[in-house]
Amino acid sequence: MNSFLAAIFLQAGYNAALVGIGAGLLGFAAGATGSFVFLRKRALVSDAIAHATLPGVGLAFILMVLLGGDGRNLAGLLAGSAITAWTGLLLMEWITRRTRLSEDTAIGAVLGVFFGIGIVLLTVIQNMSAGRQAGLESYLLGSTAGMLFEDAAIIAAGGFLALLATWILRRPMTLACFDPEYAAALGYNIRRIDLMMMGLVMAVTVIGLKLVGLILIVALLIIPAVTARFWTQRASRLIWIAGTIGGLAAYAGAAISASAPDLPTGPIIVLIAAGLFTLSLFFAPTRGVIATFLRHRLARMENA
């Protein structure tokens, strides 16, 4: 408990404090960005983007080892995952526009193929004799154990930039979510806005690989947005409530992981977010289950 409180209050060391701050920024950016994905009804696209990062991790590792470097260099791994994630996004978009296949079919194809390639590459890497491949599995479920100062700084800076980009692009993305025809009439390019939205999702996914893991990053994008929906009906408030929920979940999860490094970070963060969702589901004052039940009960009593 003492180590957890120390991590919560940023007293567990400079490195742990930087990880906590980076996690909070990343969680806020994920929650805010995920709100647009949720409102645009494109959650499955974010899932495919997350799985498309895995081949990039494997290819970047192999390339850095062949060049004589450290295969686990975080900047290199994130760059590789960004390239394959963007490739997967463009491939999904091309399949949807140029063929008769539906978007969910394109998502399923890209998700399965890219993730399969990634697993094969990880298997090859495990049999390599160089590159310090131990620990690469943390990119599946996330981990703060053994994280270097440079890694924590990258996550903190990336989380801040993703949050800043979300703030700058919030107006066109909101218009595209609620009234794409009106947005097009104002001169906005809806396809470009969708690509920017998915680009933000890709950025959050790539930055969160080490912390949350590619399998669970989608939950950090979607659960805060769904949770925030219980507390407001206004999009402007939804975005920042979701960001706050995501930030709290990520910050608390990173603190728990710092105090118990044997636990994977990603599942802890997602479980905290799921707990906040459960509380909101039952106890939200307007849209919660209990409030809805009481309103219906009161209406029946008045009509009796």
Burial class (CB in 10 A: 0-12, 13-18, 19+), 99: exposed
Name residues whose C-beta falls within 8 Å of residue 199's C-beta, 6 or more positions apart in sequence. Answer: 86, 89
Confidence of residue 273 (pLDDT cuts 50, 70, 90): very high
Cα 2–chain centre separation: 29
CB 16 within 8 A of CB 55: no
DSSP calls for 16-51: HHHHHHHHHHHHHHHHHHHHHHHHTT-HHHHHHHHH
Please state, as a whole number, how many other Cβ atoms lie within 10 Å of the Cβ of residue 122: 19
* CA nearest neighbour of 210 among 143, 116, 276, 260: 143
CB 235 within 8 A of CB 284: no
Each residue's pLDDT tens digit, 38-53: 888 888 888 888 889 9
Q: What are phi and psi of 31, to 5 degrees?
A: -65, -45
Q: What is the CATH number of domain 2-303?
A: 1.10.3470.10
Confidence of residue 11 (pLDDT cuts 50, 70, 90): low
CA angle 57, 61, 64 (to 5 degrees): 135
Give the integer Cα–Cα distance in Å for 54 and 292: 43
Each residue's pLDDT tens digit, 200-250: 988 888 888 888 888 788 889 999 999 999 998 888 889 889 999 999 999
Cα 16–chain centre separation: 21
Give the integer Cα–Cα distance in Å for 91 and 84: 10
At residue 194, does pLDDT exceed 60?
yes
Tell me the C-alpha to C-alpha distance, in Å, between residue 3 and each of 11, 73, 257: 9, 28, 10
Tokens (6 digits) for 95: 């399949």
Q: Which range has the worst mean pLDDT, 7-11, 64-68, 94-98, 297-301?
A: 7-11
CB 22 within 8 A of CB 159: yes
At residue 70, does pLDDT exceed 70?
yes
pTM to 2 decimal places: 0.86
Residues making up the chain, counted from first to last: 304
pLDDT the model gives residue 129: 64
> By percentage, how much of the chain surpasses pLDDT 70?
91
Tokens (6 digits) for 17: 């404090």
